[in-house]
Amino acid sequence: MIELHNISIDLGEFHLRNIDLAINDGEYMVLLGPTGAGKTVLIECLVGIHKPRNGRISVGGRDVIDLYPEERNIGYVPQDYALFPNMTVKQNIGYGLRARKNPKPDTERKVQQMMDSLGIAHLHHRLPLNLSGGERQRVALGRALITKPQVLLLDEPLSALDENLRNELAAELRRIQRAVGGTFLHVCHSFEEAADVSDRIAIMNEGTIAQVGAIDEVLSKPVGLFVAQFTRTRNFFDGVAQTTEGGCRINLGDGITINSNYGRFEGPVTAAIRPEDIEILNGADARGPGVMIGRVASVRPKPTYIEMFIDCAVPLVVHEGRGRHQAPAAGGDIAVRIPAHAVKIFPKEES
């Protein structure tokens, strides 16, 4: 169990403010956020490169904040894998055991085991610069995992790879984590990558943690506008909410209202709707609660869905899965329904 409690630090342009995070054993947690959010700084605090101004870090029940990196027993895989260029694959992997003065035959056996399980035994004599991206990742993982750390920290391990390789290696990471049963903390800035591998994700913004939870939870119940934007919610409208039974009604001005059962809110709010939650209707159902009629301004086909920009009473972005029906042509009329459960409400702060 890894716990960060009230961590704050100031490093030049990067800040962390009152970070609270708990990672369970055997969990794959992804730390997500835009560039500059402070994800790498957080990782480096965990490794022991920086000392936070205040707060407590406990790893497996031990308070580690005053310990040097070599005493913390935390695995670290930085962004470019940082394989030691002067050592072969075998020497790289065995480094941690040699540093702990493990007896030689035992080290040899363990290194061989690790290389076999990762499928890189045939590379044992090679130098890092002769390895491909996927091979380097496996060596870096082997090197970090062989010392059985409490948690493995991965700093943007897939960011520099092209998309196909990225999917393949993400699956690989997931598989290894399951096989070893370890706790992984994976930092990235891509939501798709997080969705591929994580059990839970923690979204960071400007040095604080905005939300922690499983993917479904974050998608359906985002906490705050930033999380909604970061998870690809597209339709944002400002309005004034009035509570009704079962939820509230938001008045967007010009007589346009949307109903929502997200919660009971009152006062100025921002409403957000995910593009894939909006339903496209056949002409016959063009009546009923939450229905809007408009015209298709433009259609953009994407690899796995079709994106439509629709001019209704309010401009809408709708995503429709491919293959369901014929994509409507640009310029045609269209009716859409916004279900009440799809409208998420975020109260506006008085600033």
Partner 1 sequence: MHGRRLLAGLTSNRGKARIVTGGLYAGVVLLVLGSCWLFVCNFDQLLPREKVVQSAEMARWRPTDEHLKVFAGGVWRDPAFWRSVNVTVVTATITAAIAALIGIPAAYALSRYKVPGRSVIGVFFSSIIVLPSSSIGLCLIVMFQYGPLHKLQERLGLHVAYSLPAIIAVQLVLSLAMGICAWKAAFDGVSRRLEHVARSLGSSPWRAFRTVTLPSAKAGIIAGLILAWTRAAAEFGGVLIFCSMFAERPLQSFSPITRMLQLHKADPLAVNMWSQIEYGNVEYGFAVGFTLVFISAISVYTIHKLGGKIYLR
Partner 2 sequence: MTGEALVQKRPREGNRGRIIRSAWPAACIICVAAILSAYLLLIVSNGVYLGLSDARWFITKHRLWVRFWLTVYTATSATFLSMIVGVPVGYALSRLRLPCRTLITTVIDLPVMVPPAAVGVFLLGMVHIFPVKQISNLLGLSFAHNPEGVVLVQFAVTVAFCVRLMKASFDAVNPRFEQVSRSLGASLPCTLRRVTLPLARNGIIAGTIVVWARAAAEWEGLMLFVGGTMAKTDVMPFSVYLDWNGGMMGWVVTFSLVCVALAVVSMAAVRLIGGRSYAW
Which residues would be at the binding site for partner 2 (CB under 8 A)?
Answer: 26, 60, 67-68, 70-71, 73, 97, 99-102, 106, 147-148, 150, 180-182
Please say which residue, 46 or 314, places its beta carbon nearer to partner 2.
46
Please say which residue, 97 or 203, places its beta carbon nearer to partner 2.
97
Number of residues that bind partner 1 (CB under 8 A): 26
Per the CB < 8 A criterion, the answer to whether 152 and 121 are in contact is no
Q: Does 331 bind partner 1 (CB under 8 A)?
A: no
Please say which residue, 43 or 318, places its beta carbon nearer to partner 1.
43
Closest contact distance (angstroms) between CB of 188 and partner 2 is 23
Closest contact distance (angstroms) between CB of 113 and partner 2 is 12
Interacting residue with partner 1 among 136, 143, 200, 337 (CB under 8 A): 143
Using CB under 8 A as the binding rule, the residues of this chain from 191 to 250 that contact partner 1 are none
Please say which residue, 140 or 210, places its beta carbon nearer to partner 1.
140
The 95-114 site mask, x for binding partner 1 (CB under 8 A), equals xx--xx--------------
Using CB under 8 A as the binding rule, the residues of this chain from 27 to 56 that contact partner 1 are 44, 47-49
Sites of contact with partner 1 (CB under 8 A): 44, 47-49, 68-70, 72-78, 80, 82, 84-86, 95-96, 99-100, 143-144, 147
